[in-house]
């Protein structure tokens, strides 16, 4: 079964160099609504580096349309992968790259938490860790990617061990450049909850402000921490 799944996933990730993927065992980590779906496929789609580089002082219209386009691409991609898996009697649950405001419930507006964290599926798949600004930092593209997940009931074997601690060390570049001052320099590990090192409300307010001032629309967008991370810029070679 594992070979079929691997073959289907690989078949759809074209061109290969734009993607990373991995398999995660999520047993005991998900909410009751996902009962039975204990395994996850994590897929990361690289962003256009030239577009991200220009976000260093704040979001651009080009960045906004790029990430919307990648969201659409990822939703289509997971749809196709799921369709092929379903044809092989493998049950799936696609988790969209993002959620529109209309789909979000009152709990989200009190917590800024959705039902499933793509970043958690990605760390369990061994693809990277959580940085000081709460971004998922992949070994290949740093945070310069968008994530998506497919949940499965079929047991999956991971290629790599889950990553459980941060590899950011003493680097504080994203903390310093954050206009919202949302991070406090504390390192993430799986026992550290988001609010202990990162204030999502400060981040959200800043993103909403940028949406209005830079794009003239009601959108939450920033990306300064994404552009500044040296792992994404390949300036750091200590990634193991
Ligand atoms: C809500 C949300 C926001 C909120 C809150 C942000 C936040 N940091 O939580 C706001 C509106 C502020 C926001 C802003 C942005 N967002 Co946003 N957002 C989301 C969304 C829809 C849900 C996140 C969520 O539920 N968070 C709840 C907390 C608890 O989980 P978490 O932060 O995801 O991660 C925690 C756990 O996963 C845990 N964890 C990780 N591994 C493990 C393993 C174990 C065993 C355990 C127990 C825990 C654990 O560690 C993290 C910290 O506690 C996701 C899509 C998704 N469904 O995942 C996108 C997402 C996180 N956003 C994304 C992006 C890119 C952004 C922006 C850069 C916007 C932009 N495009 O300009 C900004 C900046 C974000 C930043 N610095 O964090 C990307 C992140 C990509 C990346 N490289 O990390 C995501 C994944 C969308 C995607 N499909 O790619 N976002």
- Domain of 193 in residue numbering reads as 2-228
Q: Is the pLDDT of residue 236 over 60?
A: no
Pocket test for ligand 1, best of 120, 176, 184, 190 (most atoms within 8 A of CB): 120
* Torsional sign, CA 236, 233, 125, 223: positive
Expressed in angstroms and rounded, the spacing between residue 88 Cα and the centre of ligand 1 is 32
Expressed in angstroms and rounded, the spacing between residue 117 Cα and the centre of ligand 1 is 7
pTM: 0.96
Expressed in angstroms and rounded, the spacing between residue 120 Cα and the centre of ligand 1 is 9
Does 220 sit in the ligand 1 pocket, CB within 6 Å? yes
Q: Residue 235's pLDDT band (boundaries 50, 70, 90)?
A: low
Q: Is the pLDDT of residue 5 over 50?
A: yes
Does 113 sit in the ligand 1 pocket, CB within 6 Å? yes
Q: Is position 216 within any domain?
A: yes
Does 207 sit in the ligand 1 pocket, CB within 6 Å? yes
Q: Is the pLDDT of residue 239 over 50?
A: no
Give percent of the chain with pLDDT exceeding 70. 96
Over residues 158-188, the pLDDT tens digits come to 889 999 999 999 999 999 999 999 999 999 9
Over residues 82-101, the pLDDT tens digits come to 999 999 999 999 999 988 77
Phi, psi angle pair for 150, to nearest 5°: -125, 125
Q: Is position 239 within any domain?
A: no
Q: Is position 235 within any domain?
A: no
Q: Report which of 129, 142, 141, 151 is spatially closest to residue 30, judged by C-alpha positions.
A: 151
Q: Is position 24 within any domain?
A: yes
Q: Is position 182 within any domain?
A: yes
Q: Specify the ligand 1 atom closest to the Cα of 74.
A: 89
Q: Give me the number of domains the chain comprises.
A: 1
Pocket test for ligand 1, best of 51, 112, 161 (most atoms within 8 A of CB): 112
- Name the token pair of 155: 């047991």
What is the SS3 assignment for 160?
coil
Q: Is position 233 within any domain?
A: no
E strands, 89-144, in order: 92-95, 128-130, 136-138
Q: Is position 238 within any domain?
A: no
Q: Is position 107 within any domain?
A: yes
């Amino acid at each position: 079964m594992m070979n079929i799944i691997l073959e289907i996933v690989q078949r759809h990730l074209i061109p290969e160099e734009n993607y990373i993927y991995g398999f995660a065992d999520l047993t005991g980590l998900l909410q009751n609504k996902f009962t039975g779906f204990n395994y996850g496929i994590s897929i990361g789609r690289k962003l256009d580096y030239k577009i991200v580089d220009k976000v260093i002082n704040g979001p651009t219209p080009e960045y906004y349309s790029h990430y919307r386009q990648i969201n659409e691409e990822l939703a289509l991609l997971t749809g196709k992968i799921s369709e092929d898996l379903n044809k092989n009697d493998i049950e799936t649950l696609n988790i969209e790259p993002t959620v529109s405001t209309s789909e979000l419930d009152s709990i989200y507006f009190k917590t800024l938490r959705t039902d499933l964290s793509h970043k958690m599926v990605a760390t369990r798949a061994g693809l990277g860790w959580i940085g000081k600004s709460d971004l998922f930092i992949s070994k290949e593209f740093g945070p310069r990617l968008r994530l998506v997940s497919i949940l499965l009931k079929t047991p999956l074997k991971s290629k790599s061990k889950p990553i459980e601690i941060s590899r950011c060390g003493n680097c504080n570049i994203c903390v310093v450049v954050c206009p919202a001052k949302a991070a406090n320099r504390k390192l993430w590990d799986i026992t550290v909850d988001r609010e202990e090192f990162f204030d999502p409300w400060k981040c959200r307010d800043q993103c909403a402000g940028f949406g209005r001032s830079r794009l003239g629309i009601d959108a939450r967008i920033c990306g300064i921490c994404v552009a500044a991370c040296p792992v994404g810029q390949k300036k750091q070679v200590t990634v193991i």
